[in-house]
Structure 1
Amino acid sequence: MEDMGKRKKINLNSLGILGVILLFFSTVSLRAQETPEQILQHFFELYKTSQEEAITYAYGTNPTLMEKEDSNYDEIIKTLDSLVPQLGKYHGSALIAETKLTTKIKHLSYLLKYEVMPIRLSLTLAKDDVKWKFFGITFDTNELVDEMIKAGLSLDNQITNAPKEVTSLVSDFFETYDRSTRQAVDFGMQGDVGGSLKDQENLNAAKTELEKFRQAVGEVQDYGILNYVEVANSYSYASYLVNFKEDMVRFSFLMYKPNKRWKIETFRFTGDILDQLQEATKIYRLKN
């Protein structure tokens, strides 16, 4: 009788182990059948509370990424650990673009909206015979800004119907400029305002430069939008032609909406606009 009791316990334990094994493979099977949308949803849920957990999850879908000699896993974690604490509150993500290269390859880019400034996240997903995996993941800030400026300064494929909140901000900027160039810099460089000495030095230099500029060109007579570029309903670049008493100048504004309201991150002004306007009206550029 004693031996039978032991055998029963052994059998029950075996069944318990078998149940765990079956549960494990069932979970793996369900994970393997996840759609790209489900994978991305899980990634962003993790990202809300831990960037490292999200990145680890992404690499975990495709272990070969971690094994590559040029794996950027450690670099990404290190960069985010140093950058994210400086960016303020996280307000979620917004899709910038999605490209379906084939039925089994997707490339997506997202705007990660932090209070101070956004980060662009680029992802590549691909499917093998069994499941979807991450095949690439990168973060950038400077390249995104450079691309926004390049698109906004171009007069090809012009878009001039900027949202009212954006055009109102520009109007407020020029009204402030009429009163005080120093206040205009504070209003138009909210993304550069910080507590460091370097930030204050940059602001003071900008105020000096804008005041010298105003003395040279005089008061604002009129202005109109040249081009407007916007991504993810949260990040934009607006280019304006401004007619001053003594000259015509292009003012450009980089704007950001981390949550509900737009703000001007920074602005620039250049005097090269006439040559570009002449180029834009060449016969070979005219559209039927």
Structure 2
Amino acid sequence: MQYFNLKAIKPVFVVVMICTFYSRSYAQTQSAPAGPVVTGVTTYIDKFFKTYEKEGTSKAIINIFKTNPLVDSTSLRGLIAKIDTTRGLVGLYIGKELIVQRKASNSLVLYSYLVKHQNQPVRFTFMFYKPKNEWVIYRLYFDDQVDNELEESAKINGKP
């Protein structure tokens, strides 16, 4: 019959329990870094979506592009028409969820959102540029292919 020396095991057991407790509590309290939150930019985006929901596409697009004096009004009309046509198909706006945010530098950032509608999601991607002291909308991308990209990402490519 073999006996264990409990006095010798006890300190090891305590260390293992402390490590287990610490790693579990650390994993629960720590989250993946959310990325760079750029206050001026997120304010513009939040205002955009509030206007998009309550006052429509045209007002939301025009308001956000007021930050950029170089915007071409013809391009804006085309973008507004494209979004409005899509909105007619995808149903009522329900909300938004951040997909990704990226920071190329302190002067160029990108935020991409899954925009939830009643029938189908769409994606809005905002790129902001700060040439001097103020953020301006630099690019605004809109598409309804986010579900196709997700599906494509699940395929095994390049395997024989």
Contact 1:122 1:137 in 2 (8 A): yes
Q: Quick one: which amino acid aligns to residue 68 of structure 2? A: N
* Cα offsets for 1:107-139 (capped at 9, x unmatched): 111111001101111110111212011000011
Instruction: Give the alignment's TM-score, normalised by structure 2.
Output: 0.68
Which residue in the other structure is 1:37 paired with? 42
Which residue in the other structure is 1:119 paired with? 122
Deviation at 1:83, TM superposition (A): 1.8
Looking at structure 1, the residues matched to 119 and 77 of structure 2 have their Cα atoms a distance apart, in angstroms, of: 24
Looking at structure 1, the residues matched to 118 and 43 of structure 2 have their Cα atoms a distance apart, in angstroms, of: 27
Deviation at 1:57, TM superposition (A): 0.9
Contact 1:93 1:112 in 2 (8 A): yes
Contact 1:59 1:66 in 2 (8 A): no
Q: Which protein is bigger by CA-based radius of gyration?
A: 1
**Does 2:156 align with 1:150?**
no
Q: Quick one: which amino acid aligns to residue 147 of structure 2? A: V
Q: Quick one: which amino acid aligns to residue 60 of structure 1? A: K
**Does 2:105 align with 1:102?**
yes
Which residue in the other structure is 2:131 paired with? 128
Deviation at 1:89, TM superposition (A): 2.1
Instruction: Give the alignment's TM-score, normalised by structure 1.
Output: 0.39
After TM superposition, the structure 1 = structure 2 runs for residues 239-258 of structure 1, keeping only pairs within 5 Å, are none
After TM superposition, the structure 1 = structure 2 runs for residues 1-288 of structure 1, keeping only pairs within 5 Å, are 35-49=40-54, 50-66=56-72, 72-142=75-145, 144-154=146-156, 276=159, 279=160
Deviation at 1:93, TM superposition (A): 0.7
Q: Percent identity?
A: 22
Q: Which has the higher contact order (CA 8 A, sep 6+)?
A: 2
User: What SS class does the counterpart of residue 63 from structure 1 fall into?
Assistant: coil
Is there any run of 5+ residues in structure 1 with no aligned partner, and where? 1-33, 156-274, 280-288
Superposition RMSD in Å = 2.0
* Cα offsets for 1:222-271 (capped at 9, x unmatched): xxxxxxxxxxxxxxxxxxxxxxxxxxxxxxxxxxxxxxxxxxxxxxxxxx
